[in-house]
Every structure is written in C-alpha cells, then in structure tokens.
Amino acid sequence: MNAFNQSFEILDKTFVDFFVLDLDFNIICIKPSTAAALGYDQEDLKNKTLHDVLVEKNYPRLKWAFEQTHQEGNEFLFKRVYFKKKDGGSLRLNFTIFNLTKEGKQIYVGIGDRKVSPARTIATERRKRVKELMALYNIDKLLNKAGAGEETLIGITSILNQSMSFPQHARSRILFDNQEFCVLPLPPQHLDNKIVTDMIINGKPRGAIEIYYIKKQGEFIPEELEMLVEAGNMVANAFERKEIAEQLEENSKRLQALFGAITDLVYMTDGDFNLQIVNKKMDIAGKKCYEVFWNYSTPCKGCIAFKVSETKKPAQLEALMKNKFYLVSCYPIFDNKGNVTGLIHIVRETTNVKEMEQQLIQSDRLASLGQLVSGIANEINNPNTFIRGNIGIISEAMETIIPMLDDHKKKNTDFKIARLPYEYFRKTIPILLSDMQNGADRIMNIVSDLRKFARRDEGRLDEDVDFNLVIESSLRLVHNQVKRTANINLDLAEKIPTIKGNVQKLEQVMVNIIINASHAIEQQNNGEMGNIYIKTFLYNNNTLHVYIKDDGTGMTNDVKKRIFDPFFTTKKARQGTGLGLSIAYGIIEEHGGTISVDTWPGEGSEFKIVLPYQPLENGKKSALAITHA
C-alpha cells in the first residue's frame, strides 16, 4: 500500500471489518481479515471497486447511501449487506457507512459486523465504533498538524474524553517525562476505575495515558482499551519520530560543520560524474566534477573513478593538474546489492609538499657531495699549483730560448723541433703555452667553485642586505653580457625591510640566474631580444619573495629535476662547469631560504627565491631598515 493507505493501519486493531473508498468507489484500503473473508489477499483488491465485491442487488442502495453521507454528512446503518466472495459465495455484514476528510481528501468509510444482533444493539455498537474511529482519526490529524508537543498532549486528552461511552464522566491525563498534561483536572483522590496504557519510546518507558471514570456507574468496554492502546502507540511513535528527527538534524549540523571545516576538497558524485555534495560554497546543480573543478569538457585523463568503480575498492592517485600536484583519494559508495552507486573524492594539493621533498632530497644530495668534493678540490689544487707555476717558468724560459733557436735556425735551415719545422714550432709554441695557462687557470676556478660549494659557511651572514640593491648591483655586473639578448623588466617592491645576510654571496646568486636566463633567451630567440622579469614583494609580512622569469627555452622535467645538481649543465658549448646553480642553492639555504623553479618548455622558466626575516616584540622586525623611502 502507499503512504495514504498505510495511514489506515490503526483501524486493523479496532474494528471487525472495514472498507475505505474514494469518491469514485474505488477500494483504497481494506482490512486484511475482511479481504481474506472474501477469499482475496489485501493486494488483490487494490484496483477493484465497490461494485466488484458487492452483490448486484445491494449496490444501488449502498451507492446512494454513500453519496448521501457526502452530501449531507449523514451516517447510515444497513443490516444484511451481502458481499461477493471469490469462490462465488457471499459474506453477510451489518454495515455502517459515513464520510470524512483525510489529508485533504474526501473518503467513504464502511464498518461491518458479522454478528446478528437486534437493531437497537447494532445501532448502538456502530455509534460506539464510529466514535472510536473518529477519536483515533482526530488524534492522528492533531499529531500531523501540530506535531509532538505539550499543547498536542493536552488536546489528545480532550479527544479521549469525548471518545468514551460516558464522556461527561471521563477524565484523561498523559504522564510524560515526569510531567502531567490534561484538559480537565482529576479529582484530588484518583479513582480505581481506569484504563491505562504505557508509552514506550526507543525501547524505554517514558510515560502513560490514563482514562478515569469519576462516577461509579461508568464502565469501560474492551474496545475502549484497545482504542487507548492504539492511541498510546500513536503518541509514542510521534514523539519517537520527533526525537529521531531532532537527533538527525543535530547530527546533520555537526556533520556539516565537520564537513565544511575540512580544508581539502571533498565531494561526492554519482556514477556519471554528476556532483551530489561538496564541502565548498559553489553552484553544483546539474554539473559534473571535471567541469566545475578543472574546467574540462570530458572526464580527466586517467581519472581514478574508473578504477574504483571497476574494482569496488578505494584507491589513490597522484595527479598533475594545471601545473599543480594533487593527491586524489576515491572511495566507493554501495547500495544494498553491493553495486557502486556513487563515489567520494578527497583532493589534497601537494605542490608545496613535493617542492619540500625535492628540496630535502637536494639538500641531502648536496651535503653528501660537499664532503666528496672538498677532498677532490684539495687533490686537484695541489698538482695544479705546480702546473701553473711551471708553465710560468717555461713561458719565461722560452723568451730566452727563442732568440737562441732563431740564431741556430739561420745556420741550419732544416732545423726541426719535436719533428716539426722550426717555423711552425716558433709560431705555435706561444699559443700552446697560453692554452696550457688558460687550462690551468680554469682548473683553479673550478677548484675555487668546488671549495665554495663544499664550504657554505665561509663568509659571515651579518650584513644588513637590501635585496633591491643586490639586484641593481648584479644587473650592473652582467649588463654587457645581457644587453645583447634581453630587456630587463623590474617590479621591485618599495620599502622592503633589510635581511641579515652576505651581499657578495647573494649577488653571486642573482648573477648566476640572470646569466642563465640570458643564455636561454639567446638559444630560444636566435638573436632576437627577449625579456627577463625581476620582481620582489613581501608575503604575510614575514618572508621576502624574489622572482626571476625569462621567456627563453624553458626546461624539460628531466632537466628541471637535475638543475641544482653539481656538474650538471646544458651549456657544453660555453664550457659551463655546472656548479653555478648548485652553489646558488647552497647560498640561499645558508640564508634560511628556499629556491625553486617553474618551467614551461619552449616558453621560459621562473626561479623563485624565498628569504625569511623574523618580527621582534613591540611590532619591530629583525634588522629592519626601511629602504627606498
């Protein structure tokens, strides 16, 4: 039965037989025992009419009587009404009919009794049954309209008083949670002539409904106790539903508060990616997750939802979306048959975590390499010192020897040195010595860089450094080299605070990055001018950010991963040592900061330097010296 039919279940316990019809005489509810007496199941009569179950000769007068109750509000009693059984037999009922309104709908109700009784007794019993029915109906109506509350309980006691055989002598009260509710007061001393039913809510006794007769001649009948028990169940169920609804609402608010407090993106979709709920304020009605969050027209490539729907098991995936890293967790939602009907997604951005992991890996790698290259630098430097010294002696000696060899050549025209004609030897020997000197000097420079890499603590970090001035100084140093390839675009924040550090080392960092940017632009633009953008700004009033961006060649992911590694270089044509950025990394780390790079192959790269400065008490900042005032 539907919800409308189910509301008549209270009648099952109160009357012997009953029908409920709509105004077209369709059966909308029938007592199961009445249906069984006719040879049917209750559902068999669901789509039948009064005409289908009534003996033909009884139908016209019963139809007329029902219509009269609708028009005039009358009540009719018919004796010996015959109903057709499924097997062809008949069932005789003494039948009372009347009309009432249920949930805004006019309906007909017929009450039957199979007993054969004198007419006066039948009429009296029918009236009592109608009173009981109307009492339960009015209680149900009051509970649906006013809800489970104190005023409702008082109203119910009035209804119960009027439903008794002797309403003028009836007094009812409801005891609920140690409070008393009644419309008429009870005598000072309660009488023993009463009927009682307990109210059990969520398995616990919470009160009772009592009806008294204050005059001795009043006598309760069994049907009135049945009606009271049913009324007690209705009231208990109403309060139980109310408390469950209140608890659900409270839990819903708590869950919503918890749901909204989650900083990660959490949302639920059905199997077609349609958004159901999300913990962020946004319009999701009729939209799909990949449209709202990623601005895609189709599901994300490699979406984890496909795997979870197939395997029916939770899964995680690290994804790169819009140049940011995310950890996506996905959990299936099942129906009672074990089918996946929805998915819960938890999306956490891990870009910063990834960068920190890379920085930790880089720091660990550089720390290990620092110990190695410190020894290598010393081992290379010692023999190279001999070589550079000896080359100088040899160069000086050749200045004395060459004139002597020239004289010897005049006397011996076929004179050769190292199997080479003397003319060729004399022309190339200065070049060879110069190349040797340059090579030894280059070895010396590499050793110097290695020492700087291995000894990051050399040089004190106690100067008050204005980073804007560091940038301007660095640009002057590289001006001749950069001016042919790139335009410099500055966006330097005004009144930035100074930081504690080493000016020379920070200049070394900036020079290295700017020159690298210039080389990348030269390689990308084939002689055309590019752009280098340098920006400084404060963030959260506790960190200084320096961004250096170019529109050069950019880097692949493989190059990006190794860009800070010692001896890694892509500038072999320029004989780069590959130590510049690794040293820059160490210098920034010395200053308590971080350096990272974003890159776009074919479009350029952006280096990001973050340096801290710590606020002191009373609003002052460490080493604070407002510049560019």
Domain harbouring 321, CATH code? 3.30.450.20
> Residue 473 has which token pair?
């100084």
pLDDT above 60: residue 617: no
Q: Is residue 252 part of a domain?
A: no
Q: How confident is the model at residue 581 (pLDDT cuts 50, 70, 90)?
A: confident
Report pLDDT for 124: 60
The pLDDT of 277-306, averaged and rounded, is 86
Q: What is the mean pLDDT of the chain?
A: 80
* Claim to verify: residue 426 and residue 570 sit in the same structural domain: no
Q: How far apart are CA 95 and CA 113, in angstroms?
A: 7
Percent of the chain scored above 90 by pLDDT? 15
Q: Is residue 232 part of a domain?
A: no
pLDDT of residue 559: 83
Q: Looking at residue 468, what is its pLDDT? A: 92
Last residue of a domain, one of 116, 131, 149: 116
Residue range(s) defining the domain that contains residue 14: 1-116
106 and 7 part of one domain: yes
Report the candidate in 45, 44, 13 with the shortest Cα–Cα distance to residue 27: 45
pLDDT exceeds 70 at position 172: yes
Looking at residue 547, what is its pLDDT?
A: 95
pLDDT number for residue 348: 87
Q: What is the mean pLDDT of residues 320-333?
A: 85
What is the rounded CA–CA span in Å between residue 599 and residue 99? Answer: 82
Q: Are residues 373 and 470 in the same domain?
A: no
Cα–Cα distance, 330 to 312 (Å, whole number)? 10
State residue 490's pLDDT score: 93
pLDDT at 321: 76
Are 475 and 502 in the same domain?
A: yes
Residue 626 pLDDT exceeds 80: no
Which residue, 452, 474, 495, sits at the end of a domain? 452
* 596 shares a domain with 553: yes
Across 562-588, average pLDDT: 70
Question: What is the structure's pLDDT at 568?
Answer: 66
Phi, psi (degrees; rounded to nearest 5) at 328: -105, 120
Please tell me whether residues 587 and 483 are part of one structural domain.
yes
Instruction: Give the pLDDT score at 624.
Output: 34
CA distance 590 to 570: 26
Distance CA 84, CA 57 (A): 11
* Of 130-134, 424-428, 575-579, the least confident: 575-579
Considering the domain architecture, whether residues 389 and 533 belong to the same structural domain is answered as no
- Report pLDDT for 264: 87
Domain boundary among 91, 116, 141: 116
Q: Are residues 437 and 483 in the same domain?
A: no
Binned at pLDDT 50, 70 and 90, residue 374 comes out as: low
Is residue 586 one of the residues assigned to a domain?
Answer: yes
As for how many domains the chain has, the answer is 4
Q: Which amino acid, 29?
A: C
Rounded to whole angstroms, the Cα distance separating 356 from 12 reads 72
72 versus 573: which is more confidently predicted?
72
Average pLDDT over residues 411-418: 84
Residue 71 lies in a domain: yes
Q: Is the dihedral of CA 612, 616, 618, 624 positive or negative?
A: negative
Highest mean predicted confidence (pLDDT) among 74-83, 168-177, 217-226, 554-563: 168-177
Out of 289-298, 378-387, 571-580, least confident range: 571-580
407 lies in the same domain as 475? no
Residues 613 and 475 occupy one common structural domain: yes
Choose among 518, 547, 545, 513: nearest CA to 531.
518
Residues 96 and 30 placed together within one structural domain of the fold = yes
* Amino acid (1-letter code) at residue 115: K
Q: How far apart are CA 20 and CA 8, in angstroms?
A: 9
Question: What pLDDT digit, counting tens, does each position of 188-203 carry?
Answer: 776 778 899 999 998 8
Q: Indicate the SS3 state at residue 181.
A: strand
Q: What is the mean pLDDT of residues 323-350?
A: 89
Look at residue 343 and tell me if it is in a domain.
yes
Q: Which residue has the higher pLDDT, 535 or 374?
A: 535
Cβ distance 546 to 536 under 8 Å?
Answer: yes
pLDDT value, residue 283: 85
The confidence score (pLDDT) of residue 30 equals 85
Determine whether 275 is exposed, middle or buried from the number of CB atoms within 10 Å of its CB (0-12, 13-18, 19+). Answer: buried
pLDDT of residue 47: 81
pLDDT value for 550? 92
Distance (Å, rounded) from C-alpha 188 to C-alpha 159?
A: 22
pLDDT at 211: 92
Give yes or no for residue 397 having a pLDDT over 90. no
Of the listed ranges 6-20, 405-419, 488-502, the one predicted with least confidence: 6-20
Q: Is residue 139 part of a domain?
A: no
- What pLDDT, on the 0 to 100 scale, is given for residue 570? 67
> Which alpha helices (DSSP H) does 147-221 contain, by range?
150-163
pLDDT attached to residue 74: 62
Between residues 2 and 253, which one has the greater pLDDT? 253
Q: Which residue has the higher pLDDT, 355 or 111?
A: 111
**How many residues appear in the chain?**
629
Q: What is the pLDDT of residues 123-160, one digit of tens each?
A: 566 566 677 778 888 888 888 888 888 889 999 999 99
Q: Say whether pLDDT at 289 is over 60.
A: yes
Task: Inform me whether the pLDDT recorded for 448 exceeds 80.
Answer: no
- Mean pLDDT of the region 33-39: 86
CATH number reported for the structural domain that contains residue 550 in this entry: 3.30.565.10
Per residue in 459-514, pLDDT tens? 577 788 899 999 988 888 788 788 888 999 999 998 888 888 888 889 888 988 99
Q: Give the mean pLDDT of 545-555.
A: 91
The answer on 363 and 337 residing in a single domain is no
pLDDT at 375: 67
How much is the pLDDT for 621? 39
Domain presence at residue 148: no
What is the reported pLDDT for 8? 56
218 belongs to a structural domain: no
